[in-house]
Structure 1
Amino acid sequence: MDKLEKSPKLSFQLANAVVGKPYAEKPVLLTLSDKVVVIEAIDVRSEAGLEFDFQTGQLVGQPLVAGEFDAHISYYCLSQGGKTALTTVLSRFYINADPRSLWKNIPSDSQQLYAKPDSASQTIETSTIKILAASQRGRSHAHKGQARDDDFFINSGENWQIALVADGAGSAKYSRYGSQLICQTMGKFLSDLLSQSFVLSDVENGFRAALGESIAQLANEALAQHTSIKDYASTVLAVVCFYDVPQQEYVYLSLAVGDGVIALYQPMTQQLQLLNQPVTGDYAGETCFVGKDSVLNIASLMKFVRTKISIPCLLMTDGVSDAFFDSDNALKNANVWQALWQDLTQNQALVDEKKLLAWLDFWSAGNHDDRTIVIVEPKNYE
């Protein structure tokens, strides 16, 4: 029997894998060769969760554990004289940990000043409207055992709804309470206003008064704690929706201080109407927070829209909006909004508050801030 020609010494490289992520890769030949190279087998330790698929020549499976692994690649070459002898070489590759598994979830201190739950949710439902609200502490805060800085407020009455979301500044030590105090103060003020007879100008003036009252409450709290009002810094997005009976129209009046998004979005027609323009600071990436300037400039921070039909209204802090809208153009793109709405519906997040809260745990690389969303959804709006 003729002795087989010796195979040339070749080098291969396997792509790295990620724990839990399906893997199907062929070794890449790193050495130049004028022969056809055939992979006969790839042997890897069984705990890797990968095996060789002879039909495709791939290493396949769902990686089980992270670490560095040796792959013993057996191959031969085809030449005019037939095939060369089977040869095995060593190639190393890595199975990386699932990034999600690297995040810790340390409860915040329930005994600290201004302690509050790491998540919250609420539902208000009537015969004509459903309001869902959910707020989830971000992974960056959970990893360090820090409190949730976001907050929200929702309420509903006869022919009116109120929704607010707020994002406490990460650099402000008491912003977790600043966002809460702003939402509760403004929410209660506007609820009291709308519970009486009112017209549009009353609501416009009410926004100014509610914002001013929240700033006064922040100042009082700062004084009581012998600290600066800046320690309570927070954004706020607010919407009042009501039905104008004489005009037979729906009115949406919004107020926005800082970043985040407020929008009307009709998924059946992809009709989109943004109700805010994120308010930024003096430097790139800087936002604005509730303060005296926001009261003085309130006219530029407000917007109102009239429609003949009731349309879903969404408010979200930047922990949600940044994950779905990576630019101003994306914010104006109805297709991107449709993708968001489909993600909500496919995950049944519009069914109830607990499912909406669970949805907020979605993975988005690089976006690990607190997440808060409120959806004011009329019934039978299709």
Structure 2
Amino acid sequence: MDEPGAVLAPDDAVVPAAWVAREPGSAWCPDAIAALLGDEFVRAAAADPCVIAQGDEVWQVRGASVRGKSHAHRGEHRDDALAVHAADGLLLLCVADGAGSSALSRVGAAVTARLVVERTAARHAAGSPDDAASSRLGTAMAHAVHDAAVRLHELAAAAGVSPTALRTTVILVAICGDLILVSQVGDGAVLMQRHDGSVLRVGAMRETAWAGEVTCFVPDACAMTQAAELRQASAGDMSLIALMTDGIDDPFHPLEQSGAALVEQWRHGTMEPIGTATQAIGG
């Protein structure tokens, strides 16, 4: 005979959880790191949301980073970062996402995003014009990620913490003329839409079948090797290029099937929660 199940009395009614956006309860970074980065950098990096609107003579750039709902509820800082460089015929787009298990990953993300665009631009400008365009630009991109890793090691030493405390993913897209190069360390995604409307994912695929399982970050020793595994595309074929961290990538996984639905949301808007749009298969 089955045992009777428990029955909730009216006084036992479950109260729904209430989400509250709380201000961060700790400084964005330790004083030792703030002294090296400067007040202006720290203020900009800690701002929430972060919005970018610029571009060049060909591309319009729009970017945004905002604290996730759970981060805001726990009173944590925004972990994502983004940066753009547009000058001298070179457009650089970068997003980075601090590892959730690393205490200062937000610092790693902000420093890495800013530094890789600055160093890529500087190294590309200093490169030999006799080098092939893809080689010159690709070398600059890979070495810029190495520069960021070195900087994170320096900041970790100043704060007396392990470099793993600043772990971050990074995606860097460079556009120079008709050449597009994509460099990626960790998760996140690059989505492109062709002029015919078809959508494709360009860059590293998810490392495992599970969200959040990343085996290589900046400043790990493996980062430069991953960063040097460049993907190439033709800018003339594309009408949209989107970089995203896993906060956007995960709800639409796998992007190979649902990327078109995501682009549709960006172009036309939606009243549905993220990730619930009808999935369409892209090219």
Counterparts of 1:322-361 in structure 2, within 5 Å, are 322-323=250-251, 325-327=252-254, 331-333=255-257, 336-347=258-269
**Structure 1 residue 341 displacement after superposition:** 2.1
Larger helix percent = 2
**Structure 1 residue 306 displacement after superposition:** 2.7
Q: Is the 8 A contact 2:142 2:224 kept in 1?
A: yes
Question: Quick one: which of 312, 321, 327 aligns to 2:240?
Answer: 312
**Structure 1 residue 312 displacement after superposition:** 1.4
The answer to whether the aligner puts 1:286 opposite 2:213 as a matched pair is yes
Amino acid at match of 2:63: A
Once residues 282 and 127 of structure 1 are traced to their aligned partners in structure 2, the CA distance between those partners, rounded to angstroms, is 40
Give the secondary-structure state (helix, strand or coil) at the position aligned to 1:312: strand
Amino acid at match of 1:107: E
Residue 297 and residue 152 in structure 1: after superposition, are their counterparts in 2 closer, same or farther (change >3 A)? closer
**Structure 1 residue 189 displacement after superposition:** 0.5
Once residues 128 and 281 of structure 1 are traced to their aligned partners in structure 2, the CA distance between those partners, rounded to angstroms, is 36
Counterparts of 1:1-382 in structure 2, within 5 Å, are 102-109=18-25, 111-113=27-29, 116-195=46-125, 198=129, 199-243=133-177, 250-266=178-194, 269-278=196-205, 280=207, 285-287=212-214, 288-290=216-218, 291-299=220-228, 301-323=229-251, 325-327=252-254, 331-333=255-257, 336-347=258-269, 363-364=273-274
Percent same amino acid at aligned positions? 23
Residue 307 and residue 117 in structure 1: after superposition, are their counterparts in 2 closer, same or farther (change >3 A)? closer
Once residues 25 and 159 of structure 2 are traced to their aligned partners in structure 1, the CA distance between those partners, rounded to angstroms, is 19
Residue 365 and residue 191 in structure 1: after superposition, are their counterparts in 2 closer, same or farther (change >3 A)? closer
**Structure 1 residue 238 displacement after superposition:** 0.7
Once residues 297 and 346 of structure 1 are traced to their aligned partners in structure 2, the CA distance between those partners, rounded to angstroms, is 35
Once residues 321 and 226 of structure 1 are traced to their aligned partners in structure 2, the CA distance between those partners, rounded to angstroms, is 34
**Structure 1 residue 337 displacement after superposition:** 2.5
**Structure 1 residue 285 displacement after superposition:** 4.8
Residue 263 and residue 147 in structure 1: after superposition, are their counterparts in 2 closer, same or farther (change >3 A)? same
Give the secondary-structure state (helix, strand or coil) at the position aligned to 1:292: coil
Q: Is the 8 A contact 1:157 1:195 kept in 2?
A: no
**Structure 1 residue 347 displacement after superposition:** 3.0
Once residues 236 and 118 of structure 2 are traced to their aligned partners in structure 1, the CA distance between those partners, rounded to angstroms, is 28
Once residues 121 and 163 of structure 2 are traced to their aligned partners in structure 1, the CA distance between those partners, rounded to angstroms, is 25
Give the secondary-structure state (helix, strand or coil) at the position aligned to 1:265: strand
Amino acid at match of 2:273: W
**Structure 1 residue 155 displacement after superposition:** 1.4
Q: Is the 8 A contact 2:92 2:175 kept in 1?
A: yes
- Per-residue CA distance 1:255-280 (angstroms, 9 max, x = gap): 111111112113x5222332212353
Select the structure of larger CA radius of gyration: 1
**Structure 1 residue 138 displacement after superposition:** 0.3
Residue 263 and residue 217 in structure 1: after superposition, are their counterparts in 2 closer, same or farther (change >3 A)? same
Residue 206 and residue 125 in structure 1: after superposition, are their counterparts in 2 closer, same or farther (change >3 A)? closer
Show structure 1 runs of 4+ deviating over 6 A.
281-284
Structure 2 residue aligned with 1:32: none
Residue 223 and residue 341 in structure 1: after superposition, are their counterparts in 2 closer, same or farther (change >3 A)? same
Q: Is the 8 A contact 2:174 2:181 kept in 1?
A: yes
Once residues 174 and 145 of structure 2 are traced to their aligned partners in structure 1, the CA distance between those partners, rounded to angstroms, is 14
Aligned length: 246
Gaps of 5+ in 1: 1-67, 69-93, 244-249, 349-358, 367-382
Give the secondary-structure state (helix, strand or coil) at the position aligned to 2:233: strand
Residue 316 and residue 283 in structure 1: after superposition, are their counterparts in 2 closer, same or farther (change >3 A)? closer
**Structure 1 residue 297 displacement after superposition:** 4.3
Once residues 104 and 209 of structure 2 are traced to their aligned partners in structure 1, the CA distance between those partners, rounded to angstroms, is 23
Give the secondary-structure state (helix, strand or coil) at the position aligned to 2:239: coil
Q: Is the 8 A contact 2:83 2:113 kept in 1?
A: yes
Gaps of 5+ in 2: 1-9, 31-41, 277-283
Once residues 62 and 136 of structure 2 are traced to their aligned partners in structure 1, the CA distance between those partners, rounded to angstroms, is 26
Residue 313 and residue 283 in structure 1: after superposition, are their counterparts in 2 closer, same or farther (change >3 A)? closer
Give the secondary-structure state (helix, strand or coil) at the position aligned to 1:256: strand
Q: Is the 8 A contact 1:256 1:279 kept in 2?
A: no
Q: Is the 8 A contact 2:189 2:245 kept in 1?
A: yes
**Structure 1 residue 364 displacement after superposition:** 4.2
**Structure 1 residue 233 displacement after superposition:** 0.6
Amino acid at match of 2:60: K
Amino acid at match of 2:245: T
Give the secondary-structure state (helix, strand or coil) at the position aligned to 2:86: strand
Amino acid at match of 1:118: D
Give the secondary-structure state (helix, strand or coil) at the position aligned to 1:212: helix
